[in-house]
Structure 1
C-alpha cells in the first residue's frame, strides 16, 4: 500500500538533488521561515517601521541565516531573486544570507494577528510569484502562518521548503531543508 501511495504523482517529495536542480534552474523556489527569533507572534506595540517594537533575530538566528547563505552558495545559488516579508526578523534573515538585494513583498507579511486575511493574501502571493518571469533562482522569506497556509506544512524556525513552480494551493513540496 505504501509503495502504491509513493508512486502517485506529487505524493512524495522529489529527491533533494532533484529539488536543488529545480531551484537552480528556476523551476522551483525556496521558501524559508525566518530564522530563530525568541518569542511568539508580535508584541502589543508592534510597528512595521520600527524594529525595536518587534521580535528580532537572536544571535543564533543570525548565524542560521549566514549558514543558509553558505548552503545556497555551495549549491551554486549565488545571486537569487530574494524576496522577504517586511517584518524585521524576515528581512534580517534574508539580508544576513549575503546573497544580494532583498526586495520587500507584502504578500509574504505575517497574518498571524489577522488570520481572516490568510486566503486572500495566500492567493495574492501565488498570483504575484506566478506572474514573475522564470529564470534566476528565487528565495522567499516569510512566516510560519503564511507557509502553512500555502503548503499545509508547519516549518520550524529557519526551515526551508523547495516548492515547484508554478505555485498552487497547496503548493507542491519537492524537499524540506532543515535550518543549516
Structure 2
C-alpha cells in the first residue's frame, strides 16, 4: 500500500509559514519593521527604568506610544510576513499599513519631543529619548519607502473597486458595444 502513495506524494515547498517577500511586504521593509519593533521595545524598557519624574505626563505619554508601537508593529509584522494575513479577513492591508506607519511615526516624534523637553536629563532618560528618535526615524523611512514603492493607497488609479474580494465588472464603453452589435 505504501507503494501507491510514494510515487504521487511530494513535499510542498511553499508550505512555509513565512512569506517574505509578499505582495504587501518586501525584504527591505520587513527588516525595517523588525528594527522598528526592536527600537520601540528598547525605548519602552528604558522608559520603564526611569525611577522618578518631575512631571510624569510626558513620561506616561512616551510609555503609551512606545508600548503601542512595539505591540502593534509586532502584530503587523507577524501578519504581513506570514500566511495569517489571508485568514484575518481584512482586504485593505496597504491602507492599514500606510495609516498605521504614518500615525505611529507622528506620535513617536511628538512623544519624543515632549519627553525630551520635560525630563530631569538623567542618562536613562536621555537614552530613552534617543531610542525614541531612532524609532521615529525608522518609522519615517518605512513610511517613505511605502510611498515610493506603492504610492498613496487612497488614490484611485483607475482600477475597479472590489466587492467582497471579487472585482466589480466594468461596463463596456458605448463604442465597443456598437462594434459588437454591427
Bin of the TM-score, shorter chain as denominator length:
under 0.3
Higher relative contact order (CA 8 A, sep 6+): 1
Q: TM-score, normalised by structure 1?
A: 0.24
Higher relative strand content? 1
- Higher share in helix: 2
